[in-house]
Amino acid sequence: MQDIKSYTLTELTEYITSLGEPAFRAKQLYQWMHEKCVASLDDMSNIPKALKEKLRSDAANGSVDITPADATPQKVDITTITPVDIRESRDGTRKYLFELPDGELIESVLMRYKYGNTVCVSSQVGCRMGCRFCASTMDGLTRNLTPAEMLDQIYRITRDINERISHVVVMGMGEPMDNYDTLITFLRILTSPEGYNLSRRNITVSTCGLTERIREFADEDTGVTLAISLHAPDDELRRTMMPIANRYSIAEITEAAKYFFDRTGRRITYEYALVRDTNDSEECAHKLADLCRQTGAHVNLIPVNPVTGRGYAPTADDGVRAFKNKLEKQGINVTIRRELGQDIDGACGQLRKRYTGDLR
Ligand code: SAH
């Protein structure tokens, strides 16, 4: 089953003309959904009633999915996700818990910076990558999100704050490269000039390092930035933190990262969560600097966010600064990710866990 909010403009035009409607109607619908971010067909003032009925009856006979899968009484006519909890932190960060049409829950985070509004988007309900420090993966993967469900996180937040979102990071729940086709459609729609028109340069996709997908992504030439969650500079240590390291070695990741840089001209970022007495030694900094030189990568450091039941403690502030200095002395470009929203379960997947009852 399909959902018109997940259609590219070309696909939507095909569908609308197949209904015997003029092509410009597709563009109007697309603009309502993706530029004006309306939540319902009812709000689309220049769409004739007859076409709305046609779309609704197509939904009813199942040829296009504009009602929720289980056709619950609160009838929606284009896939829209619903905020069930919004928490605002002292630093202005807002954490949204969204309910999907089938009742599943996902998290999105709004971070406010001087240069604009960033939304951290989820790509799956749960995750099957199993990183030991991460809350999102504790119950495995429930399902992939659809393009509409990824897009609507940005649209609902835009409407909530009545401001445009300037930056998007695909760093919420899930592994985006494990939901690859959806990721590509999401990026196409999000950056399309007839839609939200978000600048490619302001989008970052983060992966734990699925190397075949990284190469495919490089060939796709989406123009977005790629971040790779490295977290350890050698395979042995990385395997203790990330099960995926049993499948892909750091040498393979390095090759894929080089390929990405050669194909796109865009430097990648290595994400590195500092865990006390685990990956924050001087030796680790040296090895990490070597890896960065091989690929021209930047480093994004973050003290690991402690997750209940995980037993990983963050490196203290002075340790974080020392690690940064060591990298910088070797000519590596380093940023420290500000820990926003700690007072509102800012760490990955924690707000949802509180709701599903696993965290008190
Ligand atoms: N699956 C993708 C994107 C989602 S996670 C990935 O692995 O990159 C986004 C980032 O948050 C990743 O770098 C991930 O390793 C990191 N992360 C997960 N749990 C964390 C925690 N408890 N503390 C700090 N960073 C964490």
Residue 129 corresponds to which amino acid? M
Q: What percentage of the chain reaches a pLDDT higher than 90?
A: 78
- Boundaries of every domain in the chain: 4-60, 82-349
Mutate to test the pocket of ligand 1, among 121, 125, 171 (most ligand atoms within 8 A of CB): 171
Q: Let me know the angle formed at the C-alpha of 66 by 64 and 67, rounded to the nearest 5 degrees.
A: 120
Which of 86, 92, 81 is CA-nearest to residue 118? Answer: 92
Average pLDDT over residues 223-229: 97
Domains 4-60 and 82-349 are alike in CATH topology: no
Which of 84, 37, 114, 335 is CA-nearest to residue 29? Answer: 37
Fold of 82-349: TIM Barrel (3.20.20)
Strands laid side by side in the 82-88 sheet: 82-88, 94-99, 105-113, 116-120, 167-170, 203-207, 225-229, 269-274, 298-303, 334-336
Residue 295 pLDDT exceeds 80: yes
Report how far Cα 199 is from the mean position of its chain's Cα atoms. 16
> Sign of the C-alpha dihedral, residues 321, 324, 328, 329?
positive
Query: What pLDDT score was predicted for residue 341?
Result: 62
User: Which positions are catalytic?
Assistant: 107, 348
Residue 262: band (very low, low, confident or very high) from pLDDT cuts 50, 70, 90: very high
Name the residue with tokens 């095909």. Answer: 14
d(CA 332, CA 327): 5
Fold of 4-60: DNA polymerase; domain 1 (1.10.150)
Average pLDDT over residues 228-248: 98
Query: What pLDDT score was predicted for residue 68?
Result: 47
pTM above 0.85, yes or no: yes
Average pLDDT over residues 91-120: 94
Mutate to test the pocket of ligand 1, among 108, 118, 124, 133 (most ligand atoms within 8 A of CB): 133
Please say whether the beta carbons of 138 and 131 come within 8 A.
no
d(CA 349, CA 173): 6
Write the residue with the smallest CA distance to atom 19 of ligand 1.
134
Q: Let me know the angle formed at the C-alpha of 88 by 86 and 91, rounded to the nearest 5 degrees.
A: 155
Average pLDDT over residues 297-312: 90
Residue 75 pLDDT exceeds 60: no
Query: What pLDDT score was predicted for residue 5?
Result: 94
Average pLDDT over residues 25-34: 97
Residue 346 pLDDT exceeds 80: no
Query: What pLDDT score was predicted for residue 73?
Result: 32
